[in-house]
Amino acid sequence: MVPSLIGNSQSATLSSDSESDDPLGSLLLATDLIPLAQDVTKFAGVDYATSQAGVLEVTLNGTIVKIKHDGGAAGCGGKLWPAGELLSRYLISARENETYLAHEAVWKESAKRKIKIIELGSGTGLVGLALGNAYNLATRPRTVEDVGVDIVITDQANMLSLMADNVELNDLQGIVSAEILDWGADLPENYTNPYPDVILAADCVYFEPSFPLLEQTLLSLTGPNTLVLMSYKKRRKADNRFFQSIKKNFRIEEVKDYNEYKEFSRDTVFLYRLIRKREK
C-alpha cells in the first residue's frame, strides 16, 4: 500500500481549476482512489467492516496470525484487504502441495539454504507475517542456522511502527523484519546483492500515480531467478494501465492451480506470477 501518497483523500473534492501545493493533487480530480469499504467486509471470517482499531487473531489454512490494525488512521495501509488473504493462504498451502509454484521456491528451497523474501507495500505486514508464522510452525525446533527464510516486510515510513509491532506481536524476530521502502527510490545494496528469491505484493495496484514507481521498483528488485507473486483486487479500468505497461518487461501468468482460487476470483481477486523477460 502507499497510504502517504493518498493521505485522507477518501473524500477528496478537488476541482480542475483548484490550486494546490500537492503535486499529485491535479491527478486526484475528485476521484476516490482508496479501495472501497465493501472490499473488507469479510476477512478470514471476521466482520472487519465493523471491527475497531486493535488486534485481530485470524486462522489462515491452519496458521494463526495476530494483526494489529489502526482502522485506517494512517491510510488504507493500516487495514486488511482480500488480496492479502488470498496470497497468504496460497503461500501457506503451498507447503503441502508440490504442484504450487511457491512450494519449490519457498518451502523446498528454504530447506536447503537461507532464502530472501521481500514484500512490497506490506501495510500491516499480513502476507509476510502469515508466511513467517507458517514457516515457524512447520520447522520447530530449528537446529540449522544457514537455512530458512529471511522475510522483509516493507512500506513507507508512516507504516513502519505498525509493521514492527506486528512482527513483535507474532514473535517473529529473526524471521521477519520491517523496513522502509519507497517505490521508485534508490534501493539499498543489500536488496539487490543478492537479488531476492521471492517478491510478494498484495493489493499494490490501486493508485494510478504510483504505477510507474511500483513498476520501477519491481524492475530494480527482480533478478533472473526471482519469483514474483502479485495478488490483486480488480476495482477500476485504470488498473489495466499498470499491467499493460509492465508487459514490456514481464510476462504475466494467472496462478489458477490453487484449491481456493475460484472463491476469490468470483470476487475479482486474482493471483499473478510476473516473469521477467530477458533483455535482447
CATH of residue 124's domain is 3.40.50.150
The residue count for the chain: 280
pLDDT at residue 86 is higher than 90? yes
Residue-level pLDDT at 74: 58
Inter-residue contact 113 to 147 (CB < 8 Å): yes
Strand, helix or coil for residue 193 = coil
**Integer angstrom CA distances of residue 34 from 75, 223, 255:** 9, 31, 26
Rounded to 5 degrees, φ, ψ at 233 are -100, 115
Domain residue limits at 191: 3-276
Q: Rounded to an integer, what distance in angstroms lies between the CA atom of residue 94 and that of residue 257? A: 11
Q: What is the mean pLDDT of the chain?
A: 80
Tell me how many domains the chain contains. Answer: 1
Confidence of residue 143 (pLDDT cuts 50, 70, 90): low
Q: What does the pLDDT look like over 175-225, one tens digit per residue?
A: 999 999 999 999 999 999 999 999 999 988 877 788 899 999 999 999 999
pLDDT at residue 24 is higher than 70? no
Q: Rounded to an integer, what distance in angstroms lies between the CA atom of residue 178 and that of residue 161? A: 8
Residue among 9, 5, 39 at smallest CA distance from 214? 5
Q: Rounded to an integer, what distance in angstroms lies between the CA atom of residue 8 and that of residue 6? A: 6
